[in-house]
Structure 1
Amino acid sequence: MKPTDPASRSVTGPALNAHGARLNRRGLETRARVIGTAIGMLADGEHGGEVSANLVAKRAGVTWGTLQHQFGDVDGLWAAVLEELGSRGDMLPWQDIDDGSVAERMSRIVDALWSGLDSTPGRAVAALRSLLLRSTAEFTETYPRTAEQLNRWDRRWRRAYARAFRGLVVDAYRLERVRHLLPAAVHGLYLEQHLSTYTDIDDARAVLAESIAGYLNHRD
């Protein structure tokens, strides 16, 4: 069952079910319980990355029919989860990094990205992304609402990143290349700390920030 168009407008308007009807108090409570359950299951990692919509419904104490009524399908559920997580702001806790040198700002950005990954939203988003299709084109076609929510996350990241370098003269091409690198690089180090490793993660984070700052400051 695919949700109707009105059901995708909860970002700016009242919460609606999959049929576009406004939710009453009980419906809102059920929706919040399901979303909260899904976030908890994704973030705690106890299911080894095998979280499914059926498991979420079971843990939340609702039927599959109720989940369909609320969200339409699994795409609607994951989109609602990402919308809720995005509203918390934990993944971008550095809205005011707009002073200091390039090196100082980059160090603070790396630290802030790390804190975001270590938050409940960060862990939940990482787990959810691991469940989704690897092909971007196939993912966008199969999970259009979830894809749109991830696009919203990317737009917020772009805006926050641009604000972080206000007032500095930095090569735009290099700055854009770094924007693509940073999340993956920090995420890689974050995962490394949970493995058997001889890597000094604190040193690695410092070198990452220093190396990127050096690249941005380089003059041909």
Structure 2
Amino acid sequence: MKKILAILAVIMISACGSMPEVRNEYQGADAGRIAIGIGATANTHYSSYSLQFRKVGDKEGESNRFVYFQHNEFSAQKRDYNSKEENGVVQSFLLPPGDYEIYNFDVFLNSGTVQKNFGSRNDFSIPFRVRPNETTYLGNYQANLTVGKNLFGMSIPAGAVFVVTDREMADLALVKKRLPNVSFGTISNAAPTAKSIANPFFVEANEIPVAAK
């Protein structure tokens, strides 16, 4: 277990700044819709969790993000689910058709005196396709707190690992409740497995490091 946490510490990066969020939906007649669940366990507390995405092959172009603002008093985002086990949102909006990929993540900590961004040092690829007048479901990503030690041996937040699950029926039911007048069309499931992502920050439920539970 110490080896797993050491690997995470080596490839975790901390930096200032954040990625832009998609704020204006694409309005073309060929628009496609995405739906994605992003949340955290009840004992995981950060300001926001973002999954950064871009058009496939467009590594120099503009990046956008799917984001859950867990503790941000300036955000109007409301939780789609909130239980004693977890909380989160199911984001859904329109994009131009094409091939995309989620390639990194950002976990943002703002404690007033300390601000940190945690992400993966190495990019990865979670591919998905947006089709005209259809909906693509991208899976559910549940953040689980990881901890490290400071110079005094005290435990401090050290980012998160994401449990990847396919909750298509539950997540789409939540977003359809929030958007009752939206037509979702044909739905394609692009939820990945942790194995297919091949990045240690994305795990199955039974693979969470002990220090992250």
Where relative contact order (Cα < 8 A, 6+ residues apart) is larger, the structure is 2
TM-score (norm 2): 0.27
Q: Which has the higher helix share?
A: 1
* Larger radius of gyration between Structure 1 and Structure 2: 1
